[in-house]
Amino acid sequence: YQQCENGEELISPTVAYLKETATIFSPISNISNLEYYCKIFELRARRLIKDMYTKLLEIAASTSQSPYETFLENSIELVHIARCHMETFIIRSFYDKIKVTSDSSVQNILNQLFELFAVYTLLQNQTYDFVKFTILSADTIELLKKRYQQLCTKIRPNAVGLVDAFDFHDKELNSVLGQYDGDVYEALLERARLNPSNKTKIHPAWNNNLLSLMKE
C-alpha cells in the first residue's frame, strides 16, 4: 500500500487494484454490467487494506509495540482482509476467463454463473463491509437478493448440462447417486446386495449370542 501511496510500480498484477482511484458507484444501474462486480469487490479490499494500513501506522507512532505484537493483536481483522483479497482474486480470475469465450450460448450461461457467484458471495456474510464503505446501500442489497432468485431460475434449465460439462466419468465420480445414466435406485440396491454382511442369510452373531437368549 505504501508503494501505491508513493506512486511506485507494483510487483504483482494480483494487487494492481490497490492503485485504482475510482471510489464512487451508481450500483443500481450497473447491476447488469459484470465488470461492476469485480470493481466493487476490489474497492472493498482496497478500503480494508487502506484502513488497516492507517491503523498500523497510528499504532507504530503511538506505542512501543513490536510489529509481531501488532500483527498478533490484529490477526482476526487481517485474516478477514486476506479472505476479502482472495475473493477479489477469484472473482477477477473468473471474469477474465469467461469474457474471452467465443461461443455466445456458452458465454451466456457462464455470465449467469459468474453473476450468481458474485451475488451469492456478496450476500453470504460480507455485506457489512460493503455497507460500511457505502459501496452498497440497503436498497441495492435488496435488489441483489431479487437478482439472486432470478439467476437461479435462469440457470435451472441448464443445471444438468452444466455438471455434465465437468466431464466426470462414472468411475471417477464413484457415486450411486450421481452416475450418468441416472439409474440411481437400481444402483443403490445393487450396492447394498454387495455388502459382505449379506453374504449369509443369518449373521453369526445371531447363532453365537442371540439364539440362546431366545431359547431361554
Partner 1 sequence: NVHLLRERQKTTFDIEKLTQFIYSDYFEVDARRKLSRQAYDHPIHDTHLPLEYLDSNDYYETLVRKSIIATDEAEKLGISDSKHLMWYLGAFTEERVAFSLHLRMFVPTIVMMATDEQYQQYLELAKKFKIIGTYCQTELGHGSDLRRLETIAVFEHSSDSFIIDTPTITATKFWPGYLGRTANYVILMAQLYTNGKNCGLQPFLVQIRDFNTHEPLPGIEVGEISGRLAHEAGDNGYLRLTNVRIPRNQMLMRLANVDRNGNFTRLGDSRLVYATMLTMRVSLCAYNAILLARATTIAIRYSAVRYQGQNDKGNEMQILDYPLQQDKLFPCLATSYAFICSFSRLNQIYENVMASKPDEILQQLPDIHSLSAGLKAMTSSISERMSQICRLSCGGHGYLISSGLVGIRLILDAGCTYEGDNSVLLQQTAKYLLKM
* Residue 171 near partner 1 by CB under 8 A: yes
Stretch that binds partner 1, among 27-35, 128-136, 166-174, 201-209 (CB under 8 A): 166-174
Residues 114-133 that bind partner 1 (CB under 8 A): 114, 116-117, 120
* Residue 166 near partner 1 by CB under 8 A: yes
* Residue 75 near partner 1 by CB under 8 A: yes
Stretch that binds partner 1, among 3-11, 57-65, 135-143, 202-210 (CB under 8 A): 3-11
Distances (CA, A) of 26 to 23, 32, 122, 147, 154: 10, 12, 17, 17, 25
Stretch that binds partner 1, among 32-40, 135-143, 186-194, 208-216 (CB under 8 A): 186-194
* Residue 182 near partner 1 by CB under 8 A: yes
The residue (of 165 and 210) whose beta carbon lies closer to partner 1 is 165
Residues 11-70 that bind partner 1 (CB under 8 A): 11-12, 14-15, 18, 49, 52-53, 56
Residue-wise burial string across 75-105, b where 16 or more C-beta atoms lie within 10 A, e elsewhere: eeebeebeebbebbbebbebbeebeeeeeee
Residues, the chain: 216
DSSP state of 208: I
Q: Nine-digit cell at 151?
A: 439467476
CA-CA-CA-CA torsion for 126, 128, 130, 132, nearest 10 degrees?
-160
The H-assigned helical ranges of 99-199 are 104-124, 127-132, 138-155, 159-164, 170-173, 184-194
Among 23, 134, 150, 174, binds partner 1 (CB under 8 A): 174
Q: Nine-digit cell at 19?
A: 492503485
Stretch that binds partner 1, among 30-38, 130-138, 172-180, 205-213 (CB under 8 A): 172-180
* Single-letter amino acid, residue 61: A
* Residue 159 near partner 1 by CB under 8 A: yes
Among 31, 59, 98, 141, binds partner 1 (CB under 8 A): 98
